[in-house]
Amino acid sequence: MNKNTQPDKIASVCLLVKEVQVELAVKVAKIGAGCRNGYGGIQEKGETIGRTTVRELFEERGLCVRQKYVTQVAVLDCYNHNDDGTILFVRVHVSLIPYKKTSRLLQPISWLRRIMLRKPKEMVDPQWYFFNDIPEESFMLADPFWMKRVLKGEKLLVSAHYGPGQKTLLSDPVVTPVASFES
């Protein structure tokens, strides 16, 4: 186990859902490149995790949603073991967002348009999948241990230890059901 109890980074991932389908896209760079996943990224200084989720959904998918429609379903503690013996501990908050509660800006504000044009695409090829037919072979290695479960309504705590480059799991992830994330 990592001796650090505080994460090095905090991130969010949101899964867009409609009835019994989830939209997954392919990540282009950084951790998880080449894998299908939800939309998300690193929490910025001063942001709540809900705000991070809303911002990342807009930046990566162009969709707007109010924080009240963001429902947390999992916390993933990912320990990324590096070749030099260091461990990067990233805590990922996973949320579900009903697609019908999202919207697009019809006339993006000029400064938002400039940001969107400057920013490289982080997620490509979004596809809708039925919950029972999600392409687990295209996920990051720990995702099949928890994703279908949260899509079916479970709330989970997950601890996963990845080898260098997230190419291997050092052991099966530990998945623990919880009643809620309300404090």
The token duo for 63 is 């969709």
Is 102 a residue whose pLDDT tops 80?
Answer: yes
pLDDT band at 131 (very low <50, low <70, confident <90, very high): very high
Cα dist from 62 to 39, 99, 115, whole Å: 11, 12, 12
CATH number, domain of 127, equals 3.90.79.10
- The CA distance from 36 to 135, in Å, is 8
104 vs 98, residue with greater confidence: 98
Top-confidence range, 24-38, 79-93, 109-123:
79-93
Domain count, the chain: 1
pLDDT band at 182 (very low <50, low <70, confident <90, very high): confident
pLDDT digits (tens, 9 = 90+) for 26-40: 999 888 889 999 999
Residue 1 lies in a domain: no
Residue 183 lies in a domain: no
pLDDT digits (tens, 9 = 90+) for 143-161: 999 999 999 999 999 999 9
Burial of 70 (0-12, 13-18, 19+ CB in 10 A): buried
Provide the residue range defining the domain that includes 37.
9-178
Residue whose tokens read 């505080």: 6
pLDDT recorded at residue 120: 55
Is 107 a residue whose pLDDT tops 60?
Answer: no
Classified as helix, coil or strand, 104 is coil
Model pTM? 0.90
pLDDT band at 180 (very low <50, low <70, confident <90, very high): very high
pLDDT band at 2 (very low <50, low <70, confident <90, very high): very low
Q: How many CB atoms lie within 10 A of CB 114?
A: 11
Residue 2 lies in a domain: no
Q: How confident is the model over 91-115, as a mean pLDDT?
A: 74
